[in-house]
């Protein structure tokens, strides 16, 4: 019996990290859109259809992969959301 080559699949094919882009946070690959921003819109009540309209450069597959990534990495994304809320609040007090 011969060896079978198995290609390792990327768990989240539309998510990446890039030094110097969005603070090295998880982003939609090929964009500067952080995963946390998509999740935050959803958490404040925006339906997925509206998120897709708000980010017309994204495909449904990219947006749904952001949700999949979130559910696999909730602590990371929740931390990103909290840190960015702090930055926004501090920035708006100036």
Within a domain: residue 52? yes
Within a domain: residue 5? no
Q: Helices then strands (H, E): number in the chain?
A: 4, 2
Within a domain: residue 51? yes
Domains in the chain: how many in total?
1
Take residue 48 and report the two structure tokens written for it.
Answer: 């997925």
Within a domain: residue 10? no
Within a domain: residue 9? no
In the prediction, which pLDDT does 90 show? 54
User: Which residue segment(s) compose the domain that 56 sits in?
Assistant: 15-89
What is the Cα–Cα distance from 12 to 62, expressed in whole angstroms? 9
The neighbour count for residue 10, using CB atoms within 10 Å, is 10
Q: What percent of the chain has pLDDT over 70?
A: 80
CATH of the domain at 25: 1.10.10.10
What is the Cα–Cα distance from 81 to 40, expressed in whole angstroms? 7
Q: The pTM is what? A: 0.80
What is the Cα–Cα distance from 79 to 84, expressed in whole angstroms? 9
User: What tens digit of pLDDT does each residue of 16-60 get?
Assistant: 988 888 888 999 999 999 999 999 999 999 999 999 999 999 999
């Amino acid at each position: 019996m011969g060896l079978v080559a198995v290609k390792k699949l990327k768990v989240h094919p539309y998510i990446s990290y890039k030094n110097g882009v969005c603070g090295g946070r998880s982003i939609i690959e090929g964009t500067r859109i952080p995963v946390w921003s998509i999740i935050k819109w959803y958490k404040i009540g925006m339906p997925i259809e509206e998120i897709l309209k708000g980010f017309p450069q994204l495909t449904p597959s990219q947006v749904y992969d952001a949700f999949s990534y979130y559910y696999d990495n909730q602590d990371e994304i929740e931390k990103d959301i909290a840190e960015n809320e702090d930055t926004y609040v501090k920035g708006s007090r100036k």
